[in-house]
Chain A
Amino acid sequence: MKGSNLPFQGTVEQERQLRDKLAELKPQGGALMPALQYAQELYGYLPYEVQKIIAEELNVTLSDVYGVATFYSQFSLFPKGKYQIGICLGTACYVNGSGEIYDKLRNILGIESGECTLDRMFSLDATRCVGCCGMAPVMTVNGDVYGKVKADDVEGILSKYSAKESKNNG
């Protein structure tokens, strides 16, 4: 899977924050989910290194942590791109053709749902109803919502973001 072999880039400061939070959560019952939610927020994903810290601090096994992290789709074991693309595969969007847009995105980016491009620029997630079925089919980029998207529009939307990058770099 693309993105799985990207090196871990966590900082000492992040690790300190995580350990502090874990110390605070530990005394409460059922701390594992809130801990994972916090860590996911902090790092953007839950790599092996982070799972290990959580297991250590909460005094649970690594396989417990892994078991919960992989059970819930909100948790990601792989990093997210600078631009996180979501394509809604909720029923209302699917009926209106979001499956085709999803295919197109996978084609163009060369990644599957849950993965990230090697340059860490784009990641792709197939999501469920984002609550704006009125604009189906819906695609999101870092929370910006694009409604009534057609497969033809996909390249244009993506190039908006890649153009932003080349501008930043040049």
Chain B
Amino acid sequence: MDEKTLRKIKERLGSDIAARQAHLAKQNARFERQVLVCGGSGCSSGNSKKIYDEFAREIKEKSLIGKVNLVMTGCFGLCALGPVVIIYPEGSFYANVKLEHVEEIVDGHLVGGKPVKQLLYKETVNENGEITPLADTDFYRKQSRLALRNCGVIDPENIEEYIARDGYFALLKALNMPRGKIIEEVSDSGLRGRGGAGFLTGRKWKFTYDAQSDVKYVACNADEGDPGAFMDRSVLEGDPHVVLEAMSIAAYAVGANHGFIYVRAEYPVAVHRLQVAIKQSREVGLLGKNILNKNFDFDIEIRLGAGAFVCGEETALMTSIEGKRGEPRPRPPFPAVKGLRGKPTLLNNVETYANIPQIILNGSKWFSSVGTEKSKGTKVFALGGKIHNTGLVEVPMGTSLREIVYEIGGGIPQGKAFKAAQTGGPSGGCIPAELIDTEIDYESLQSIGSMMGSGGLIVMDEDNCMVDIAKFFLEFTVDESCGKCTPCRVGTKRLYEMLCKITDGKATLEDLDKMEELCHYIQDNSLCGLGQSAPNPVLSTLKYYRKEYEAHIVDKVCPAGVCKSLIRYEIDPDKCIGCNLCARNCSANAIRGTVKKPHVIDPEACIKCGICETVCRFKAIKKVGGKK
């Protein structure tokens, strides 16, 4: 592979790819139409592979081969509407596609030339029945896709499509730059680590560059431990080459010839796409010896993580790559000095890497023109929970939480009230409604007791109990603490027990003070970030939802009606006609009564599953808060 070949590939495929982005794109692609089927994890679980196969069959049967280009891409972002199919040049966004829709779409759109309007995403059809650009929908309008620029645009298993999107041109450019200049460019861009802590990427590169050693390594953290997040997974599944290219640039800059990607074994599709990408890069000589004839050797190995949250911590990750129990060790020495196998190692997160090629190609000024004073560029969030448009969003730093929740996210379903947004996963905190205008960046989130984290953003409504949520995260950390240091191992356990005491209605107000004290003790005395940040979910909920804690303790009531010990089910004798349906559905045999007479629930036997409430046709059964 050399510069000439790269340019040839780009020339050959460039127009096809360009025609996949704009609404009613000028038709200079080699195909009449291009059908993009989402192969992201959300849509795949909705059977998008079968939909792809069905399109392939139909296209063949209706002799459209050569006229229609069928492509399986990564996530488009609007996973809530999956499986999704987009057809260009119209930019028609087909939502919730089912197998039986395929023939209709092929006949109507591909053969007949008319988009099948009733199957399109509602927001892309206006009242006159005209198709409006996808980019104008609430979901996409405020987004700017930088790290995700190829996700949902190219076929991740085809290196040529990546090249056609300027892929590997950044590497080419970097290999012609002095190494110090590359690092300067990354530093000046202001890019900060997207793995959570937000350390300046350029500075980390500089440290590794400065370290003296015969051997150095670069590594990519694709462990993505936040249990409600899938940003890194989507990048790997939708655009694996961007990570390989960025790692190559980093390796050249800091002086490494060997790289590792540490990826969760629970992400089989991501692992597969990485394997395919590495194989293709090796075949064309973009990994291996003498890359792009620039006398630079570099290769990458994949290492599978095995489901331990703490292994996302950098020192634990490296121990795990060495095949041991992934326990953190004290820093310094930092990995940039002493990392994998005792050698200087540069570790960056997947999304951090995904920004690098564009910074090299467009320059640091271009990148730093987006974002806030101290947080540059964009951030990808996995938007989930009680929100209409669950999915993957990428917004400039400084976008307000309100814009993300109400505009991009489309608000809360069933007209419920927004209660909290959780960022930073088990290390983060809950942001209350009164702070919804916070403009998101590293500093602002920290100052309100949460953190950026890797990008999980979970919305909660009035039906969620904040004490229960704190307990949920603590249960997670208790489970995931590696056990090396006592403040974390024992402290989180105690904290969890105190929360259980509260949700059981057995705590006193003094317990709240004790709990807060314990939180600070754990923060101050744990060895690694897991323990240090484990109390955050408790502290932030205590700060903003103290009343809710007090309700559990003083009134013995769970206002959201979640905590089982504090609710009960009752049958209204005036409404109950004695049909016996509830009793037959109660798996605990807790409902007594004779036919045609009002029934009663035995509170001792009731396990509070709530089934009876849903089966009763006369709305006679109600959940009641508080202990009797």
Give A contacts to B, CB under 8 Å.
29-34, 36-37, 67-68, 71-75, 89-96, 99-100, 103-104, 107-108, 127-136, 138, 145, 147, 150-152
Closest 5 CB pairs of A and B: A91-B228, A30-B323, A92-B384, A131-B41, A72-B306
Distance of A103 Cα from B233 Cα, bound (Å): 29
Query: B307 within 8 Å of A by Cβ?
Result: yes
How many Å from the CB of A96 to the closest CB on chain B?
Answer: 7
- Measured CB to CB, the nearest residue on chain A to B422 is A91
How many Å from the CB of B268 to the closest CB on chain A?
Answer: 9
* Contact residue among B42, B324, B456 (Cβ-Cβ distance under 8 Å from A68): B324
19 residue pairs bridging A and B, Cβ less than 8 Å apart: A32-B324, A33-B304, A36-B306, A71-B325, A72-B326, A74-B265, A90-B228, A91-B422, A92-B458, A95-B385, A95-B460, A127-B266, A128-B228, A129-B226, A131-B42, A133-B390, A134-B81, A150-B614, A151-B610
- Measured CB to CB, the nearest residue on chain B to A36 is B306
Please state if A73 and B306 are interface contacts (CB–CB under 8 Å): yes
* Contact residue among B82, B323, B609 (Cβ-Cβ distance under 8 Å from A104): B609
A91-B422, A95-B458, A145-B45 known; A32-B323 Cβ under 8 A: yes
A74-B266, A92-B385, A134-B80 known; A33-B227 Cβ under 8 A: no
- With A36-B306, A95-B386, A132-B42 known, 7 other A-B pairs at CB within 8 A are A29-B323, A74-B306, A91-B227, A92-B385, A94-B228, A129-B226, A133-B382
Please state if A73 and B308 are interface contacts (CB–CB under 8 Å): yes
Contacts of A90 in B (CB 8 A): 227-228
Please state if B323 and A134 are interface contacts (CB–CB under 8 Å): no
Distance of A71 Cα from B325 Cα, bound (Å): 6
A92-B384, A151-B609, A151-B611 known; A131-B230 Cβ under 8 A: yes
Please state if A134 and B42 are interface contacts (CB–CB under 8 Å): yes
How many Å from the CB of A56 to the closest CB on chain B?
Answer: 17
- Measured CB to CB, the nearest residue on chain B to A75 is B306
Contacts of A93 in B (CB 8 A): 228
- 8 Å CB contacts to A: which residues of B498-547? none
* Contact residue among A31, A100, A108, A132 (Cβ-Cβ distance under 8 Å from B323): A31
Most chain A beta-carbon neighbours within 10 Å: one of B227, B324, B456: B227
Distance of A93 Cα from B80 Cα, bound (Å): 13
Distance of A132 Cα from B230 Cα, bound (Å): 9
Please state if B323 and A129 are interface contacts (CB–CB under 8 Å): no
Contacts of B267 in A (CB 8 A): 131
Please state if A103 and B609 are interface contacts (CB–CB under 8 Å): yes
Distance of A89 Cα from B464 Cα, bound (Å): 15
Distance of A144 Cα from B307 Cα, bound (Å): 21
Query: B590 within 8 Å of A by Cβ?
Result: no
- Measured CB to CB, the nearest residue on chain A to B227 is A128
Please state if A135 and B42 are interface contacts (CB–CB under 8 Å): yes
Distance of A100 Cα from B465 Cα, bound (Å): 14
Please state if A91 and B307 are interface contacts (CB–CB under 8 Å): no
Please state if B587 and A33 are interface contacts (CB–CB under 8 Å): no
Distance of A66 Cα from B546 Cα, bound (Å): 43
Distance of A29 Cα from B318 Cα, bound (Å): 13
Query: B607 within 8 Å of A by Cβ?
Result: yes
Contacts of B324 in A (CB 8 A): 30, 32, 68
Contacts of A150 in B (CB 8 A): 614
Query: B277 within 8 Å of A by Cβ?
Result: no
Distance of A91 Cα from B341 Cα, bound (Å): 35
- Measured CB to CB, the nearest residue on chain A to B480 is A73
Distance of A90 Cα from B229 Cα, bound (Å): 8
Please state if B41 and A34 are interface contacts (CB–CB under 8 Å): no
Contacts of A89 in B (CB 8 A): 227
Query: B320 within 8 Å of A by Cβ?
Result: yes
Please state if A100 and B609 are interface contacts (CB–CB under 8 Å): yes
Query: B578 within 8 Å of A by Cβ?
Result: no
Please state if B41 and A130 are interface contacts (CB–CB under 8 Å): yes
Contacts of A67 in B (CB 8 A): 325
Please state if A136 and B390 are interface contacts (CB–CB under 8 Å): yes
Most chain B beta-carbon neighbours within 10 Å: one of A32, A128, A151: A128
Most chain A beta-carbon neighbours within 10 Å: one of B42, B46, B611: B42
Distance of A28 Cα from B303 Cα, bound (Å): 13
Contacts of A152 in B (CB 8 A): 611, 614-615
- 8 Å CB contacts to A: which residues of B215-261? 226-230, 233
* Contact residue among B45, B305, B322, B609 (Cβ-Cβ distance under 8 Å from A132): B45
Most chain A beta-carbon neighbours within 10 Å: one of B45, B80, B81: B45
Distance of A32 Cα from B326 Cα, bound (Å): 12
Query: B366 within 8 Å of A by Cβ?
Result: no
- Measured CB to CB, the nearest residue on chain A to B80 is A134
Distance of A115 Cα from B566 Cα, bound (Å): 30
Query: B193 within 8 Å of A by Cβ?
Result: no
How many Å from the CB of A50 to the closest CB on chain B?
Answer: 16
How many Å from the CB of A102 to the closest CB on chain B?
Answer: 12
Please state if A29 and B306 are interface contacts (CB–CB under 8 Å): no
